[in-house]
């Protein structure tokens, strides 16, 4: 099979023909072999836990947990990058440098660059991370800010961009937003003295669990006079659907409606061109596909169209004040140019250190290269799942599971959401866990299978499927 040709087909929305031996381990290994040396090497940039480590009861090593994986069979299969990415090896080096800096020069670390350090002065770290994230989301560094966490940033953006006025006071969101987005939207509406239930326009799915672009556009047309803001997910966390961000954004703008995107599941996963797509604002967390560690420092985008007066439209704090005069402490606010004017507090240097380490891995490649590998990895996982479903369906009865994520690779990222027959969920979950597979389960029956192109390979997909099929039969 020609991997490059298959990737081109996937980019065009077509399915590649997998050969008759595609379900064999040899075939999976051959795909790994044909992967570029650079992409292959990223796996060694991450700490892949062993099955023994996954069961550990102490933070410090015991004889069982010290043992290195002697073969890939000893390593866990980690398909949970859609929830928390694995630890980059650089994180320990960067954090060590931070601790040594803090421990040796104390407060001077804010302004001092130690010669051999991978981290910059604390003062410059947020801007440095913004610069490193710019290419990942398709924006200029001035349009990006690293700050806070995702929900806080959604609040800050809504404080700036949600300006209900008379009848034009509604927020459009999807039918099943992540709870935090729902609460943020609800409370922003209530903050303006409005009733949340009457002020939210929900996009319901119109095709199985999916919301088609036409359906969203029609709903925007229908409610155009009432919508003050649209806030949608780049990738819907439950179904794994990637929305057509440029088409929906353009449609919202035809009606003069501000549109923001929650890119929690899209950033570091799919190619984004936030600037060119003219998105108004976007927010994302960095602990999923960007691997900054649990609760890591988040990112936000504000289009340069909205000028350099960030906080003048929203909430201010001393870190939004221009760096050159921040310490004059004269209480005359001068906004930092671009998105960084939205900063409020002195950011956590330890979180920025961890983010910076994680982004250093992305700097060795491009989202284009990662997405190409991801398209093929996920298509292979889909092919294998469909094969298993066929093998395990008896004629006339419902198959044991189905994939609810779009079949068209242009409308999904790394993740496939597998909807199991409800009675299978507990058994399959237990078997996956027992066999060292980590992936995310959402009741009633969804297993989210997300091979991340930075550290997962085709062999992982093959090994996952072996465990999964056995679990169905147990």
Ligand X SMILES: Cc1ncc(COP(=O)(O)O)c(C=O)c1O
> Which residue number, 286 or 457, has a Cβ lying nearer to ligand X?
286
178 is in an annotated binding site: yes
Cβ closest to ligand X, residue 262 vs residue 382: 262
DSSP 27-46: HHHHHHHHS-HHHHHGGGGE
From the CB of 116, what's the least distance to ligand X, in Å? 33
Query: According to the binding rule CB under 6 A, does residue 180 interact with ligand X?
Result: yes
> Which positions from 148 through 167 interact with ligand X, judged by CB under 6 A?
149-151
Cα–Cα distance for residue pair 38/20, rounded to 1 Å: 29
> Considering beta carbons, is residue 106 or 179 the nearer one to ligand X?
179
Cα–Cα distance, 110 to 102 (Å, whole number): 9
Q: Which stretch binds ligand X (CB under 6 A): 117-125, 144-152, 342-350, 380-388?
A: 144-152
How many Å apart are CA 200 and CA 240, to the nearest integer? 23
- Tokens 């239930």 belong to residue: 197
Residue written as token pair 């994986």: 69
Q: What is the DSSP string of 385-431?
A: HHHHHHHT--TTS--SEEE-S-SSGGGB-S-EEEEE-GGGHHHHHHH
In the set 18, 94, 162, 178, which binds ligand X (CB under 6 A)?
A: 178
* CB 262 to ligand X: min, Å: 5
**In this chain, which of 172, 285, 297, 454 binds ligand X, going by CB under 6 A?**
285
Q: What span, in angstroms and rounded, lies between the C-alpha atoms of 6 and 370?
A: 15
* Selected binder of ligand X within 130, 134, 232, 264 (CB under 6 A): 264
Closest separation between CB of residue 46 and ligand X, Å?
20
The region of 173-181, 195-203, 268-276, 359-367 touching ligand X under the rule CB under 6 A is: 173-181
Residues whose CB is less than 8 angstroms from the CB of residue 84 and which lie 6 or more positions away in sequence, other chains included: 287, 288, 293, 294
The DSSP bridge pattern shows strands 46-47 and 87-88 to be antiparallel
Number of residues lying near ligand X (CB under 6 A): 11
Q: Which of 79, 237, 289, 319 binds ligand X (CB under 6 A)?
A: 237
Is the CB of 53 or the CB of 239 nearer to ligand X? Answer: 239
Q: How far is the CB of 219 from ligand X (least distance, A)?
A: 20
Closest by CA to 403, choosing from 121, 114, 208, is 208
Q: Is 180 exposed, middle or buried (0-12, 13-18, 19+ CB in 10 A)?
A: middle
Taking the C-alpha atoms of residue 301 and residue 125, their distance in angstroms, rounded to an integer, is 17
Residue from 164, 233, 311, 338 touching ligand X (CB under 6 A): that is 233
If one asks whether residue 262 binds ligand X (CB under 6 A), the answer comes out as: yes
* 247: its two tokens: 């088409």
Phi, psi of 54 (to 5 degrees): -60, -25
Q: Which is nearer to ligand X, 123 or 241 (CB)?
A: 241
Binding site members for pyridoxal 5'-phosphate: 150-151, 178-181, 262, 265, 287, 318, 346
Binding site members: 150-151, 178-181, 262, 265, 287, 318, 346
Where along the sequence are the contacts to ligand X (CB under 6 A)? 149-151, 178, 180-181, 233, 237, 262, 264, 285
């Amino acid at each position: 099979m020609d991997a490059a040709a298959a990737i081109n087909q996937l980019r065009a929305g077509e399915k590649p023909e997998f050969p008759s031996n595609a379900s064999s381990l040899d075939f999976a290994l051959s795909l790994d072999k044909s992967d570029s040396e650079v992409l292959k090497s990223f796996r060694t940039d991450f700490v892949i836990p062993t099955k023994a480590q996954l069961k550990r009861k102490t933070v410090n090593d015991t004889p069982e947990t010290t043992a290195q994986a002697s073969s890939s069979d000893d390593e866990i299969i980690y398909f949970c990058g859609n929830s928390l990415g694995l630890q980059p090896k650089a994180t320990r080096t960067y954090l060590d440098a931070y601790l040594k800096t803090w421990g040796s020069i104390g407060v001077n670390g804010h302004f001092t660059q130690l010669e051999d350090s991978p981290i910059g002065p604390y003062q410059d770290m947020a801007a440095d991370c913004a610069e490193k994230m710019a290419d990942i989301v398709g924006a200029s560094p001035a349009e990006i800010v690293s700050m806070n966490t995702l929900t806080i940033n959604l609040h800050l953006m809504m404080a700036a961009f949600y300006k209900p006025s008379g009848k034009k006071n509604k927020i459009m969101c999807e039918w099943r937003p992540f709870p935090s987005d729902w609460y943020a939207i609800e409370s922003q509406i209530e903050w303006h003295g409005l009733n949340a239930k009457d002020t939210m326009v929900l996009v319901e799915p119109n095709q199985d669990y999916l919301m088609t672009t036409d359906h969203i556009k029609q709903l925007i047309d229908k409610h155009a006079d009432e919508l003050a803001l649209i806030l949608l997910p780049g990738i819907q966390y439950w179904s794994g659907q990637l929305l057509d961000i440029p088409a929906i954004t353009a449609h919202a703008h035809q009606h003069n409606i501000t549109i923001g995107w929650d890119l929690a599941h899209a950033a570091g996963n799919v190619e984004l061109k936030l600037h060119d797509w003219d998105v108004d604002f976007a927010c994302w967390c960095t602990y999923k596909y960007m691997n900054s560690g649990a609760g890591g420092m988040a990112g936000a985008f504000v289009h340069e169209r909205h000028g350099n007066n960030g906080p003048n439209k929203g909430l201010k704090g001393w870190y939004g004040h221009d760096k050159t005069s921040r310490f004059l402490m004269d209480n005359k606010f001068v906004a930092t140019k671009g998105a960084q004017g939205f900063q409020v507090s002195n950011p956590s240097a330890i979180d920025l250190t961890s983010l910076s380490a994680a982004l250093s891995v992305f700097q060795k490649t491009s989202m284009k290269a990662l997405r190409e590998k991801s398209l093929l990895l996920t298509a292979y996982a889909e092919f294998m799942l469909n094969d298993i479903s066929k093998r395990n369906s008896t004629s006339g009865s419902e198959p044991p599971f189905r994939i609810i994520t779009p079949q068209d690779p242009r409308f999904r990222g790394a993740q496939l959401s597998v909807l199991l027959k409800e009675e299978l969920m507990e058994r399959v979950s237990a078997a996956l866990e027992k066999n060292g597979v980590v992936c995310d389960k959402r009741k009633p029956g969804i297993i989210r299978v997300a091979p991340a192109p930075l550290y997962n390979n085709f062999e992982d997909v093959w090994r996952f499927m072996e465990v999964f099929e056995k679990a169905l039969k147990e």
